[in-house]
Amino acid sequence: DVLFEKKGYESVTKQVTIKAGNQGVTTDYTTFLDVQMKNITPSQVDCTSPANLNSVALDDKLVLTFTRDMDKTSVINALTITPEVKISTVWQSAKELVITSSAFANSTTYTIKIDGSVAKNSQTGQLLDGDKDGTDGGVYELKFTTEAPDTKAPFIESTYPPTDGEALCTYRPVIRIAYNEKINWNSNKVNNFV
């Protein structure tokens, strides 16, 4: 009998007969025993983005990456946010949940919670280890603060050609204007340029 054990995996016991050749010599008669061990480590939130949770832009995507494929419905049912705002959730994969909202306010601290007694993974059905104590259950908590209101007007950082540059002589010349921040152009862009 061969016992296979590894932390976080279900133990497996298999029986194997070792092949032997002449006079019990095994050098020419290799015996293999392959087993599959079921991973029983409860899922956790592995990482989040953006990296800086102290100044999250209002249009940033919050991405939660889990260690295992998740039962998507159970995670959404277990998710809450305070203060309460309407959020949108999209799964990029069975491990990546993207959270956005058009209702986030500037300079506000939000707390996202996922109840580990409800959320589970889709591979073993185990509950989420939200507090990362190694056991199923526990609440996962993510706090983030949105950025302060933008009170400064955007400005042009660079242009091509430079403002004192030579005239463009090529067919279909490229004119590039780079601003210091994202510009929210209105739908009729033609009226923005003269």
pLDDT in tens, 56-76: 999 899 999 999 999 999 999
pLDDT in tens, 72-103: 999 999 999 999 999 999 999 999 999 999 99
pTM, entire model: 0.70
Place of tokens 């095994």: 26
- What's the confidence (pLDDT) of residue 189? 65
Quick one: tokens of 44? 């956790």
Torsion sign (Cα): 158, 164, 165, 168: positive
Rounded distance, CA 118 to CA 112, Å?
Answer: 15
- The three-state secondary structure class of 67 is coil
